Structures are given as C-alpha cells and as structure tokens.
Amino acid sequence: MPSALPDGEPVPESGSLPPSALDGRESSPLGFYLHVPFCATRCGYCDFNTYTASELRTSEGVLASRENYADTVVDEIRLARKVLADDPRRVETVFVGGGTPTLLPAADLGRMLAAVRDEFGLTPDAEVTTEANPESVDPGYLTQLREAGFNRISFGMQSARPHVLQILDRTHTPGRPEKCVGEARAAGFTHVNLDLIYGTPGETDDDWRASLESALTERPDHISAYALIVEEGTQLARRIRRGEVPMTDDDVHADRYLLAEETLTAAGMSWYEVSNWATTGDAAARCRHNELYWTGADWWGAGPGAHSHVGGV
C-alpha cells in the first residue's frame, strides 16, 4: 500500500525537533489542535478516530478514559512546551475537535485550554474554538465554556430534514442546532459555525435548499458545507455496497455546491475556502485556525487523531 504520509521530514524518534524546524519559527503563527476521541454514538458515514466506549482498554490496562482524558492532554501540552523549549511565540488559535469534545465536562475543556495559556500564553485576540454536538450542550454548559475562555463554537447540524438525518444516523432533533446558535450567542459567543453535509443518499435539491435556509435562520457568522464522502470501512459504505441506499452522483454534488454558494452569498456570506463561508467583509468571522493549516503555519496537535507541523516537520 502506498504511504499516506505527506512529503517532508519525519518526526525524530527522540521527540525533539531538528534545528531546521526551529529556524525562523517566529515569523509563523502558532496554533494548537486538541483532539477528543469520544462520541456517544458512531454516525454511519464517519471514519474519524473516535470511540463510543467511555474507557479504552488493552490487555495492559486502561489506555484512555473520558475521566482522565483532559489530564493526558495537559501532559501533552507540557511536552510541547519542553520540545519547543525557548520558543517565544504566544498561541494565536486553539481548536478542540472530535469526536465530540462536549461529551467531556466543560471544566475539562477549560483545563486543557488553561494548560495552553499557562505554558505558552495566548495572544490577546486568540481564537478559541470547540466543536460540539447539538444534543450534548445546554445554556449552562455553554456559559461555562465561555467563562473558561472559549469564544468560537462549531455545531454539527448536517441537515434540517429528518429523513436525511436518519440516513446519517444523527441523533439530534431537527431544529436543535439552529436553537444552539441562539443559545451560544446568549452565552456570549460572537463566532458560531454550523457544519452541513450535502449529497446524502435520498437528499433532494429541495432538502438541501431547506437545510441551507434553516441553517441561516439564527444568522451564524460561519457555515461549513461538506460534500458527503463515502469512506471505506464505514457502515454507510457497507449499506451502499449491499444496495440498501443509493450512491450519490458527482454531478449532484457539484450542483449542490453551486446551490450552497448561491444561497449563502445571497444571505451575506462569502466563500473563502473549499468548504467554508463566513460573513462578508468581517475577517474575524473566518476560522483563523483553519486558515493556519491552509497557509502552512505551525500547529501542535494532541490526541490520537491529531498531527503537528512545525517548521516543515
């Protein structure tokens, strides 16, 4: 099988970074990606590195559990401090992704963020995001996140249509993600994203239009719209192979992408990256952490689904 590793130097086994990676770092922004690999249920389309068990065991014992996961991430952040040694940079973006980060208590996410702040410091205008599943938060939880220093939140909506949500195995009630946008605003979040998926088997153009319009009702300042990828090894791929659900065709995907662009532009948003739209004319509405990847800046990743990139390594 061909290697899936990108070009570039591999990480040295000692965990240290070669001098070439450490040269000229100060000119590049630094971000953190903190991965939380737990979900309440596995969506049939998703092949992310995530687990529904609350405790991961091997014959040698417990590898990770929801209970001690934040401590493990804090240890990794301290390791990053050691490896980056005298790096003077403060962190410009933190992104907590999943899995479902909001399955952990808000205080645990707050502790992870505090470790980044204590070890590296955050810039005064740092963007601090967490992903969240709509059914896993309530106003009290959102307020706690805000108090801990999170200022951006991204909810997985995917679709407004019950039959589409059902094919995707999504467990939230239709309408709940849109309500989450209002609750996040009330808790003090200025930046709110909704994730949508188009091209689900059985979805029509009208379904997709309705999802876009519904996503816009509470005026989030960011929308991510992803073409459904049927990933090998997922339940959805098996269902398609067995002929239980149809495969969506590429032309349908292309038409829905154009419909997204048309609808979101008409609603005052602008496309700025393959799958992302943000409020027109408001640079702060774009996801800076995402832009950091696209511009090849530096980020430190912690967690089993994370990778890091420092100075080309």
Ligand X SMILES: C[S@@+](CC[C@H](N)C(=O)[O-])C[C@H]1O[C@@H](n2cnc3c(N)ncnc32)[C@H](O)[C@@H]1O
Nearer to ligand X, 146 or 170 (CB): 170
301 binds, among ligand SF4, ligand X, none (CB under 5 to 8 A by kind): none
Q: How far apart are CA 256 and CA 52, in angstroms?
A: 32
Q: Give the H/E segment covering residue 67.
A: none
In the complex, minimum distance from the CB of residue 84 to ligand X, in angstroms, rounded to a whole number: 26
Nearer to ligand X, 120 or 257 (CB): 257
42 binds, among ligand SF4, ligand X, none (CB under 5 to 8 A by kind): ligand SF4
In the complex, minimum distance from the CB of residue 50 to ligand SF4, in angstroms, rounded to a whole number: 5
Map tokens 């980060």 to a residue: 101
Instruction: Give me the phi and psi of 301, to 5 degrees please.
Output: -110, 140
Nearer to ligand X, 62 or 247 (CB): 247
Map tokens 């990606």 to a residue: 33
Map tokens 């090894």 to a residue: 233
228 binds, among ligand X, ligand SF4, none (CB under 5 to 8 A by kind): ligand X
Query: Using CB under 6 A as the criterion, what x/- string covers residues 20-49 for binding ligand SF4?
Result: -------------------x--xx--x-x-
Tokens at 149, concatenated: 């220093």
226 binds, among ligand SF4, ligand X, none (CB under 5 to 8 A by kind): ligand X
Nearer to ligand X, 109 or 197 (CB): 197
What count of residues does the chain have? Answer: 313
Q: How far apart are CA 99 and CA 90, in angstroms?
A: 27
Nearer to ligand X, 18 or 105 (CB): 105
Among 102, 130, 133, 248, binds ligand SF4 (CB under 6 A): 133
Q: Which residues contact ligand X (rule: CB under 6 A)? A: 45-46, 48, 97-100, 131, 133, 156, 158, 195, 197, 226, 228-229, 231
Q: How far apart are CA 234 and CA 230, in angstroms?
A: 8
Asked if residue 102 lies in contact with residue 141, where contact means CB atoms within 8 angstroms, the answer is: yes
Q: Which residues within the stretch 87-126 sit at the binding site for ligand SF4 (CB under 6 A)?
A: 98-100
Q: How far apart are CA 71 and CA 111, in angstroms?
A: 8
Map tokens 């410009």 to a residue: 92
Nearer to ligand X, 51 or 226 (CB): 226
Tokens at 174, concatenated: 């239709």
Q: How far apart are CA 175 and CA 173, in angstroms?
A: 6
Which positions lie near ligand SF4, rule CB under 6 A? 39, 42-43, 46, 48, 50, 98-100, 133, 156
